[in-house]
Structure 1
Amino acid sequence: MLTKKDIIQLLQAFTKVFATKKDLENFATKKEMKKQHNEVVQKLEFVQSDIKSMKSDIKTVQSDVKNVQETLNNLTEMTGDILSWTDDIHKEIVMEKLPQRVHRIEKHLGFPVLAD
């Protein structure tokens, strides 16, 4: 037969091995855990939808960049050697003829000749 001391020791051992109601007060119940799980799943779904919209935006921007690049390429092909043509005009008009005209105007008006 168990003595009172044995019973107390068994109860103490039992409470060490198994959780009591008081021990479980701070732990979430199954219902609370399910609610938290559902909240996390809902947040993940929002994140996934945001990622999908971002991917769509990125595709749109990439398409716009390709269109701009194509337009730039077409413009470059259309203009051809326009830069060398404008360089020739600049060299002929600004660098050669303009100083000659300024010199003639200065002579005509009687201004002192500016240094070239």
Structure 2
Amino acid sequence: MSDTYALGGLWAVIDGYSRALSFESGWIRLEMPGPSNLKSWSVEVIGVDADGMDVLEHHYYNRRQRVILEMITGGGHRLWGEADICRVAVGPRARATFSGIGFLEGFESL
């Protein structure tokens, strides 16, 4: 079973610094075979601002793709976990995709 939740805010902790990533739309997708049984999670954001994309693109292409994501859903739930930057695409509707690694803190509250 897959559940998708809209994101209201996203921060990436890279090299010990938290950087806010402004975006037009974003969501987190949870793959859960049962209640409180998280199999995997991923995040996609579209319309990322230029400053945020510069940081993500730099780390992606320099093979330092692991980040810690801190998120707030549209409903106000706080989530955080470690993820890999899977894909970045620059341009007018810049986008980034992350694949979660291990446990996603706070998912039980969704």
For the aligned pair, the TM-score class normalised by the smaller chain equals: under 0.3
Flag the structure with higher helix content.
1
TM-score, with length taken from structure 1:
0.13
The structure showing larger relative contact order (alpha-carbon pairs under 8 Å, at least 6 residues apart) is 2
TM-score, with length taken from structure 2:
0.14
Larger Rg: 1
Flag the structure with higher strand content.
2
